C-alpha cells in the first residue's frame, strides 16, 4: 500500500499507462496495448479485436483500493494492464490468506455461481480493462478461440494453485520465501533480466499472508538469506538474487 511505483520496471508499473486517454468502441486503443499478446485478447486477430474493444472499459485504482469483494455478484472480468493486484480470502476473525499476486497481462474474475470467491485489491497504482462477463462470454459463440484461451488460463491457474498448496502445506519458512523470490523473478524476467534485481511491490505482511507466515518470520528469513550472502536487500521494495541457483535449490528442497 505504501509502494510508489518509483524505480519499478515497465512490467511492474513503470510509465506506459493506457496508451490513449479513453477506451471505447472502435477507438483502436487495443492495437497499442502493451500486454495484449499476454492476455486472452491475443486469441483474436487485430480485425476481430473490435468486438472486444466494443465492450471494454478501463479502470484505475490507487494502492489499497478494492476492485471487488468475495461474494459479490461477478458481473465483470478484468485484464490487468498496469500495476499489481492481490487476491485474498479472509476468515471471520480476520486471518487472511493471499491466494495470488497479479501482474500486467494477468486475467482476473474467473468465478462460479457463488459470485467472486475472493477479494481483489490494488497493491500499486493499477490500470485494468473491465469486461462485462455476459457480453464477453457471449463472444464465445462467434470466437470459440476466446473460450479456448480462457480455458487455458483457468488450467494454468489451477496448476499454479496446486504448486501453492504444496508450498503452504509442506515447505519450511525458508523454502517458502526462496520459492516466492524465484517466482517473482520468473514473473519479472518475462520482460528482461536485470542482474537478479527483483522489485517487491508488496509489503512484508502481504508476503506473509501469501506464504502462510507472519510478518516477523518473513523479515527474519530474508535477513538470514541476506547474511548468508544469497540475496541483497537495497531497500524494502527490492531484492537482488545474488546466487539464484542456490535460492532455487532451497526453494525446490533438493
4 binds, among its own copies, DNA, none (CB under 5 to 8 A by kind): DNA
CB-CB contact of 102 with 85 (8 Å): yes
Instruction: Give least dist CB 118 to its own copies, A.
Output: 6
Task: Catalogue the long-range contacts made by 162-169 (C-beta closer than 8 Å, 24 or more residues apart).
Answer: 164/99, 164/100, 167/211, 168/211, 168/212
Instruction: Give least dist CB 162 to DNA, A.
Output: 19
Q: How many residues bind DNA (CB under 7 A)?
A: 23
* 164 contacts DNA (rule: CB under 7 A): no
Which part of the chain contacts DNA (CB under 7 A), choosing from 22-30, 76-84, 137-145, 198-206? 198-206
240 binds, among DNA, its own copies, none (CB under 5 to 8 A by kind): none
- H runs (alpha helix) in the chain: 50-53, 133-142, 144-170, 173-189, 204-211, 215-227, 244-252
Angstrom distance (rounded) from CA 97 to CA 90? 6
Instruction: From 185, 201, 180, select the one nearest 250 (Cα to Cα).
Output: 180
151 binds, among DNA, its own copies, none (CB under 5 to 8 A by kind): its own copies
Which part of the chain contacts its own copies (CB under 8 A), choosing from 7-15, 37-45, 50-58, 147-155? 147-155
Instruction: Give least dist CB 14 to DNA, A.
Output: 17
Give the β-pairing of 76-82 and 197-199. unpaired
Angstrom distance (rounded) from CA 179 to CA 248? 7
* 228 contacts DNA (rule: CB under 7 A): no
Angstrom distance (rounded) from CA 221 to CA 233? 12
CB-CB contact of 59 with 106 (8 Å): no
Instruction: From 48, 104, 111, 44, select the one nearest 76 (Cα to Cα).
Output: 111
Which residues inside 107-136 make contact with its own copies, applying CB under 8 A?
110-112, 114, 117-118
Instruction: Give least dist CB 41 to its own copies, A.
Output: 18
Instruction: Return the number of the residue (55 or 173) whose C-beta is nearest DNA.
Output: 173
Instruction: Return the number of the residue (29 or 218) whose C-beta is nearest its own copies.
Output: 218
Query: How does DSSP classify residue 115?
Result: B
Of 31, 66, 190, 253, the one binding its own copies by CB under 8 A? 253
* 148 contacts its own copies (rule: CB under 8 A): yes
Instruction: From 114, 110, 130, 7, select the one nearest 61 (Cα to Cα).
Output: 130
Instruction: Return the number of the residue (141 or 192) whose C-beta is nearest its own copies.
Output: 141
* 2 contacts DNA (rule: CB under 7 A): yes
Of 48, 70, 157, 174, the one binding DNA by CB under 7 A? 174
Q: Which residues of 222-245 are buried (b: 16+ CB within 10 A; e: fewer)?
A: beebeeeebbeeeeebebbbbeee
Give the footprint of DNA on this chain (CB under 7 A): 1-2, 4, 172-174, 203-205, 212-220, 222-223, 233, 235-236
Amino acid at each position: 500500500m505504501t509502494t510508489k511505483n518509483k524505480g519499478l520496471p515497465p512490467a511492474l508499473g513503470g510509465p506506459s499507462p493506457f496508451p490513449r486517454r479513453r477506451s471505447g468502441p472502435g477507438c483502436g486503443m487495443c492495437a497499442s496495448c502493451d500486454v495484449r499478446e499476454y492476455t486472452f485478447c491475443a486469441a483474436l486477430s487485430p480485425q476481430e479485436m473490435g468486438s472486444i474493444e466494443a465492450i471494454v472499459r478501463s479502470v484505475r485504482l490507487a494502492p489499497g483500493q478494492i476492485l471487488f469483494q468475495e461474494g459479490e455478484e461477478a458481473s465483470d472480468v478484468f485484464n490487468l494492464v498496469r500495476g499489481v493486484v492481490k487476491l485474498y480470502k479472509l476468515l471471520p476473525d480476520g486471518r487472511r490468506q493471499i491466494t495470488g499476486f497479479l501482474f500486467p497481462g494477468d486475467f482476473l474474475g474467473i468465478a462460479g455461481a457463488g459470485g467472486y470467491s475472493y477479494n481483489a485489491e490494488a497493491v500499486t497504482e493499477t490500470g485494468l480493462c473491465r469486461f462485462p462477463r455476459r457480453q464477453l462470454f457471449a463472444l464465445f459463440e462467434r470466437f470459440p478461440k476466446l473460450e479456448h484461451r480462457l480455458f487455458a488460463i483457468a488450467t494454468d491457474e489451477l496448476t499454479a494453485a496446486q504448486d501453492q498448496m504444496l508450498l503452504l502445506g509442506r515447505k519450511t519458512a525458508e523454502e517458502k520465501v526462496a520459492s516466492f523470490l524465484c517466482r517473482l523473478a520468473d514473473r519479472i524476467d518475462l520482460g528482461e533480466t536485470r542482474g537478479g534485481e527483483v522489485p517487491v511491490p508488496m509489503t512484508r505482511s502481504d508476503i506473509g499472508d501469501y506464504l502462510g507466515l507472519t510478518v516477523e518470520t518473513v523479515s527474519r528469513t530474508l535477513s538470514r538469506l541476506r547474511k548468508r550472502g544469497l540475496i541483497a536487500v537495497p531497500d524494502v521494495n527490492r531484492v537482488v538474487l545474488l546466487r539464484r541457483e542456490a535460492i532455487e535449490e532451497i526453494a525446490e528442497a533438493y
